[in-house]
A = this chain, B = another copy of it.
Amino acid sequence: MFALDPQLAQDSFVIGDFTLCRLLLMNDSQYPWCILVPKRDGLREVYQLAATDRHLLVTESCLLAETMQHVLHADKINIAALGNVVPQLHLHHIARFTTDIAWPAPVWGKFPAQAYSPAQRTSRTQALCEALAHAGNFKPCQF
């Protein structure tokens, strides 16, 4: 039975589900920052996924990255599977802008997270869900 890592659950909001992955929005308003978590138990590395799941992961990752870049007019999408602190396999997808506070450095460890206001959170979540809803294999949460 899949369960989200407690640290991920504390730091983010669930905004929907793809076929393989749960989609989270990190509660850091400094960057549009999504996380894909494959709904498989006990994995730490991408290579531990079965071949069919690996292909689903890259498909869902590309759909998310392309959507984020187009909806947000981002200059770059940063994608990473790190997991040094949180053991559950998860992939960061961060929309980066040449004007953001950490550019061009990676975001990790640069600035403490700034929580969204309720209005900001709703706005960001709705924009992403509406764009992803066209994908067919994405089911947004009901807010």
A27 at the B interface (CB under 8 A) = no
Give A103's nearest chain B residue, CB to CB: B84
Query: A81 within 8 Å of B by Cβ?
Result: yes
Complex CA gap A110/B109 in Å reads 10
Q: Flag the segment in A42-50, A111-119, A131-139 that touches B.
A: A42-50
Residues A26-73 near B (CB distance < 8 A): 44-47, 49, 51, 54-55, 57-59, 61-63, 65-66, 69
Inter-chain CA distance A59–B57, complex, in Å, is: 12
A72-102 contact mask (Cβ, 8 Å, vs B): 1 or 0: 0000111111111100000000001000000
Overall SS of chain A's interface: mixed
**Which residue of B has the minimal Cβ distance to A66?**
B47
Question: Which B residues are CB-close (under 8 A) to A69?
Answer: 45, 47
- CB–CB B65/A76 < 8 A: no
Cα A78 to Cα B106 with chains together (Å): 13
Of the candidates A62, A63, A82, the one having the most CB atoms from chain B within 10 angstroms of its own CB is A82
Q: Contacts A45-B66, A47-B62 given: A104-B84 contact, CB under 8 Å?
A: yes
Q: A65 vs B48: C-alpha distance in the bound complex, in angstroms? A: 10
